Amino acid sequence: MIAEIITIGDEILVGQTVDTNSAWMARKLKLIGIPIGRIISIADTKKAIVETLDDAMSRADLILITGGLGPTKDDITKHVLTEYFNDELTLYQDISDRIEAYFKSNSRVFLEVNRQQAMLPKNAKIVRNDLGTASGMWFKKDGKDIISMPGVPYEMKGLMEKVILELKEKHQLGDFYHRTVLFQGVPESVLANEIADLENEIRAKKINLSYLPSTGQVKVRLTATSEKEEDIAHYIEEIVSRFPKAFFGYEEDRLEAVIGKILSEQGKTLGTVESCTGGAVAERIVAVSGSSDYYKGSIVSYAYELKEKLVGVSNEDLWKHGAVSEQVITQMAKGGIEKMDVDYCIATSGIAGPTGGTDEKPVGTVWIAIGTRDKVYAKRFNFKQNRKRNIESTVVYALNYLRRVILGLEDEDTKNADI
């Protein structure tokens, strides 16, 4: 079975909205052994939808469509597909009642235009939307499955989970086994070089190995039929053993959640003192449910005077060494421990750019410190020259720095890291 994904929406084509749906759907399909032949974004017009669908039908067995199912006149996907498959719209009263109840429960007026979302193709299989008002539509033609879903990501994901369950029941997709191992702070090229011998063995056994890099992190995924589960487990263990300090989790683990689990188990508390990241570290930490059990809060001290007033940084050191220095970042971490009365404190200070760099401290220079009750670990990181990327990198490296300190993996003599 080969799949293609079609995303519909002018907002995608003009760059107003980023198409994250396709990437998520592609990952889900790969996990059940369905390869993607093509992904395309098109305008919300009858001509574009018909021509693209004709093209996809000539190649793919499964076609997934997102977008264009809203209640307004510019959302024409439902009407075009109904005509394309020689179907007709009919009112699904149960869906109409559910939509009306949904609006009333949210104290919103239920209009006739909203009732129109219950007008759906008579002969298509309707996939109920438990998270919104636009139902999914599952058409079949010439042995092919064509499934249209709303473009709102969380609604699409809810419908897609139902679709995947049914696809697995109806089609012989094979029984695939996947394991993913996560690393932080080791470049993809270094990782690949260090496991080159293993990679040759892995591929010789018909196990697929993929490197999935992101900001500061690399995922290594092994995939094969379930009969090779034992082999995959062995190779995952071997890969982890070669990078014990960089390894932090499996599958969909997140650094902030891994750290939270450790802090909870140890009964320890955490605070953050941020300058260049402006609260971005705190945002990642509180995104974890239950973080209030261990996270006390953040002090965002961007200006010199707030570094002095809020966390007790020396005025002399600020003007002598600058905010982006070992002297200042160390005091920020110490001040955070004292002011917030926490066991650990992450402190960040750097030059995110694109302005503010010097020959001595170019854009991308960041100091990160991890304070404990007894000492402070501090390290200079040299990131790149993109402001957003520098901030993202600082957050990821700061979280992992904390993890390494908590677990006793950090070399306190290392003061500089070229990234």
Residue 361 belongs to domain with CATH number: 3.90.950.20
- The pLDDT of 106-118, averaged and rounded, is 86
- The pLDDT of 371-383, averaged and rounded, is 96
Q: What CATH number did the domain enclosing 192 receive?
A: 3.30.70.600
Domain boundary among 140, 170, 200: 170
- The pLDDT of 362-369, averaged and rounded, is 97
Instruction: Indicate if 224 and 358 belong to the same structural domain.
Output: no
User: Residue 282: pLDDT band by 50, 70, 90 thresholds?
Assistant: very high
User: Residue 108: pLDDT band by 50, 70, 90 thresholds?
Assistant: confident
Instruction: Indicate if 246 and 260 belong to the same structural domain.
Output: no
pLDDT at 104: 86
| Span of 134-143, 156-165, 349-358, 404-413 with lowest mean pLDDT | 404-413
pLDDT at 171 over 90: no
- The pLDDT of 329-346, averaged and rounded, is 98
Give strand ranges (E) for 62-175: 62-66, 89-91, 119-121, 125-127, 136-141, 144-149
Which stretch of DSSP H or E encloses residue 372?
strand 365-372
In angstroms, the Cα distances linking 283 to 218, 288, 401, 411, 412 are 22, 9, 17, 27, 27
Instruction: Indicate if 187 and 329 belong to the same structural domain.
Output: no
Rounded Cα distance, 419 and 397, in Å: 10
Query: What's the pLDDT tens digit per position in 20-44?
Result: 999 999 988 988 888 899 999 999 9
Q: Which two tokens stand for residue 268?
A: 């320890």
Give the residue with greater pLDDT, 173 vs 299: 299
Q: What CATH number did the domain enclosing 121 receive?
A: 3.40.980.10
Instruction: Indicate if 228 and 304 belong to the same structural domain.
Output: no
User: Which pTM value belongs to this model?
Assistant: 0.78
Domain boundary among 220, 235, 250: 250
- The pLDDT of 278-296, averaged and rounded, is 97
Query: What's the pLDDT tens digit per position in 40-63?
Result: 999 999 999 999 999 999 999 999
**Which structural domain range is residue 412 located in?**
255-418
pLDDT at 185 over 80: yes
pLDDT at 177: 85
Indicate the number of domains in the chain. Answer: 3
Instruction: Indicate if 90 and 212 belong to the same structural domain.
Output: no
Give strand ranges (E) for 135-267: 136-141, 144-149, 176-184, 208-214, 217-225, 247-250
Sorted by sequence, the CB contacts under 8 Å of residue 367 that are 6+ apart come out as 324, 325, 326, 328, 329, 348, 349, 350, 378, 379, 380, 381
User: Residue 145: pLDDT band by 50, 70, 90 thresholds?
Assistant: very high
pLDDT at 354: 93
pLDDT at 173: 66
Rounded Cα distance, 348 and 383, in Å: 13
What percent of the chain is modeled with pLDDT above 90? Answer: 81
Burial of 134 (0-12, 13-18, 19+ CB in 10 A): buried
Instruction: Indicate if 42 and 163 belong to the same structural domain.
Output: yes
Instruction: Indicate if 259 and 362 belong to the same structural domain.
Output: yes
Rounded Cα distance, 139 and 360, in Å: 63
- The pLDDT of 234-238, averaged and rounded, is 97
The residue written with tokens 């100091």 in the block is 367
Q: Which two tokens stand for residue 417?
A: 């890291």
Instruction: Indicate if 77 and 120 belong to the same structural domain.
Output: yes
Arithmetic mean of pLDDT over the chain: 93
Instruction: Indicate if 281 and 387 belong to the same structural domain.
Output: yes
pLDDT at 341: 98
Please tell me whether the peptide bond between 213 and the residue prior to it is cis, using omega within 30 degrees of 0. no
Q: Return the sign of the alpha-carbon dihedral for residues 403, 294, 182, 227.
A: positive
pLDDT at 340 over 60: yes
pLDDT at 241 over 60: yes
pLDDT at 307 over 60: yes
pLDDT at 414 over 80: no
Instruction: Indicate if 42 and 136 belong to the same structural domain.
Output: yes
Instruction: Indicate if 141 and 263 belong to the same structural domain.
Output: no
Instruction: Indicate if 322 and 391 belong to the same structural domain.
Output: yes
